[in-house]
């Protein structure tokens, strides 16, 4: 019995459930995949930057070679971008990989990581996979209660995971709240500030975590190329921290954890500011469009600063999800996050948002 033989902490895990792939639903419904829209995984609806595609094509003849295991060029670009040193950067196979490196380097049985209720699913998975305990702090208005998170930290806490904006709720906290938190959190606790969606949100209301690094040696900021940079399939993310923390993460990192297509595409995407700006514009317009549609349907939602929105149906949303699937619309049920009345909808292109709203009107019609 190889389940019984697995480590007890692993036996207790449930696997991550991704958004339903378009091809899978197409097979189930016997439909052309082109007729299906997927607004389920917070992907960039613009498709990849043409500059990233060109860089990938140029790199193809090198596929027999190992990638640059230190990611020199990408780190150089990122260092420039964020005004940090290259030795402060850790590259990951998606930012999930970075989160996992943190758990492997800093957590173990008897230790704990603190995170909020309705936090991203990978925090508990990575924490429990190494036998550590996840301490879940009740949310406040669906978002982080930073005071309660501080209060939950104990002598065995090694890591705090914060997401700003948060997935799946889209909630956020401001610069004053972050400063106050960082001033008071114990210096031996590693604060992981997950900014997977920050490119959609940074401004007066939301701080850029990078600007707190110089003052707080226990801060690590994680980012990804999967969302605003539109490269989810390539799996590339990164952390910026003190050089010492980066050195520790580098010790547990798999050699060549970021592939060469991802490395060149990420470099090119970083240089494509027009793409980034267009993505922000499309997202802001799509958010308004979906909010307007929800308002007309008299539905409630959690205000979001990400590229997704959690819609509150005030009753079990599973049947609504099933009915939307039959209409060829894939969104994300978040019952697994303890939010069974909600569906999380990624913001798409205008016609995709309209298809979603149309399907929703049909499904909810009396
Ligand atoms: N953090 C948060 C809050 C996320 O929502 C996601 C993507 N679902 C990630 C990290 C991981 O993204 P990736 O591994 O693609 O970089």
How do residues 151-182 score in pLDDT, each as one tens digit?
A: 999 999 999 999 999 999 999 999 999 999 99
Measure 101 CA to ligand 1 centroid, in angstroms: 14
Closest ligand 1 atom to 41 CA:
8
Q: Which residue has the tokens 């114990």?
A: 186
Are 39 and 56 found together in one domain?
Answer: no
Are 34 and 87 found together in one domain?
Answer: no
Are 111 and 235 found together in one domain?
Answer: yes
Q: Which of 239, 270, 301 is the last residue of a domain?
A: 270
Residue 329, pLDDT score: 97
Are 70 and 216 found together in one domain?
Answer: yes
Q: Is the dihedral of CA 55, 58, 63, 67 positive or negative?
A: negative
Q: Note whether residue 3 is domain-resident.
A: no
* Ligand 1: residue whose CA is nearest its atom 5: 167
Ligand 1 site-directed mutation target among 224, 232, 259, most atoms within 8 Å of CB: 224
Burial grade of 195 (CB within 10 A; 0-12, 13-18, 19 or more): buried
Query: Which residues are paired to 222 by β-bridges?
Result: 194, 239
How do residues 224-241 score in pLDDT, each as one tens digit?
A: 999 999 999 999 999 999
Q: Note whether residue 2 is domain-resident.
A: no
How far, in Å, CA of 150 to CA of 58, rounded? 48
Q: Note whether residue 246 is domain-resident.
A: yes
Measure 205 CA to ligand 1 centroid, in angstroms: 21
Q: Note whether residue 55 is domain-resident.
A: yes
Are 142 and 195 found together in one domain?
Answer: yes
Are 342 and 259 found together in one domain?
Answer: no
Are 201 and 264 found together in one domain?
Answer: yes
Are 172 and 285 found together in one domain?
Answer: no
* Ligand 1: residue whose CA is nearest its atom 12: 95
Q: Which residues line ligand 1 (CB under 6 A)?
A: 42, 94-96, 120, 163, 167, 194, 196, 224, 226, 232, 237
Closest ligand 1 atom to 93 CA:
14
Contact 44, 282 (CB under 8 A): no
Q: What's the CATH code of the domain at 329?
A: 3.90.1150.10
Lowest mean pLDDT among 153-167, 178-192, 194-208, 257-271: 194-208
How do residues 25-44 score in pLDDT, each as one tens digit?
A: 999 989 899 999 999 999 99
Are 251 and 284 found together in one domain?
Answer: no
Measure 296 CA to ligand 1 centroid, in angstroms: 31
Residue 321, pLDDT score: 97
Which H, E and C letters describe 218-245, residue by residue?
Answer: CEEEEEECCCCCCCHHHCCEEEECCHHH
Are 89 and 193 found together in one domain?
Answer: yes
DSSP symbol at 140: B
- ipTM of the prediction greater than 0.95, yes or no: yes
Q: What's the CATH code of the domain at 136?
A: 3.40.640.10
Question: Sheet harboring 332-333: ordered strands across?
Answer: 300-302, 308-312, 342-346, 332-333
- pLDDT at 289 > cutoff 90: yes
Are 220 and 321 found together in one domain?
Answer: no
CA 268 vs CA 37, 222, 233, 275: distances in Å: 28, 19, 16, 11
Domain of 111, in residue numbers: 50-270
**What is the count of structural domains for the chain?**
2
């Amino acid at each position: 019995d190889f389940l019984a033989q697995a480590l007890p902490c692993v036996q207790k895990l449930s696997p991550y459930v991704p958004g339903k792939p378009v091809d899978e639903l197409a097979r189930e419904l016997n439909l052309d995949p082109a007729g299906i829209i997927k607004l389920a995984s917070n992907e960039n609806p613009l498709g990849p930057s043409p500059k990233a595609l060109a860089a990938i094509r140029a790199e193809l003849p090198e596929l027999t070679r190992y990638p640059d295991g230190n990611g020199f060029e990408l780190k150089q670009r990122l260092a420039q971008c964020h005004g940090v040193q290259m030795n402060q950067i850790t590259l990951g196979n998606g930012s999930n990989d970075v989160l996992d490196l943190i758990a492997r380097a800093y957590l173990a049985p008897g230790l704990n990581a603190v995170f909020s209720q309705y936090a991203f699913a990978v925090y508990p998975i990575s924490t429990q996979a190494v036998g550590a305990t996840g301490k879940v702090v009740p949310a406040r208005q669906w978002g982080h209660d930073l005071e309660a998170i501080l209060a939950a930290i104990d002598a065995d806490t090694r890591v705090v995971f914060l997401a700003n904006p948060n997935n799946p709720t889209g909630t956020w906290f401001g610069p004053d709240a972050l400063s106050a938190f960082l001033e008071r959190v114990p210096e031996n606790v590693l604060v992981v500030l997950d900014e997977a969606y920050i490119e959609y949100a940074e401004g007066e209301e939301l701080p850029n975590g990078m600007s707190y690094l110089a003052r707080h040696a226990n801060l690590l900021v994680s980012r990804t190329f999967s969302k605003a940079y539109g490269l989810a399939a390539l799996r590339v993310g990164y952390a910026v921290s003190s050089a010492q923390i980066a050195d520790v993460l580098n010790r547990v990192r798999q050699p060549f954890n970021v592939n060469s297509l991802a490395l060149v595409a990420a470099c090119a995407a970083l240089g494509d500011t027009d793409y980034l700006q267009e993505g922000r514009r499309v997202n802001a317009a799509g958010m308004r469009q979906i909010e307007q549609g929800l308002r007309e349907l008299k539905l409630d939602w959690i205000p979001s600063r990400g590229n997704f929105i959690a819609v509150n149906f005030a009753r079990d949303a599973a049947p609504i999800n099933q009915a939307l699937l039959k209409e060829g619309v894939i969104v994300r049920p978040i019952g697994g996050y303890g939010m069974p009345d909600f569906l999380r909808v990624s913001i798409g292109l205008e016609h995709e948002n309209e298809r979603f709203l149309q399907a929703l009107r049909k499904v909810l019609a009396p």
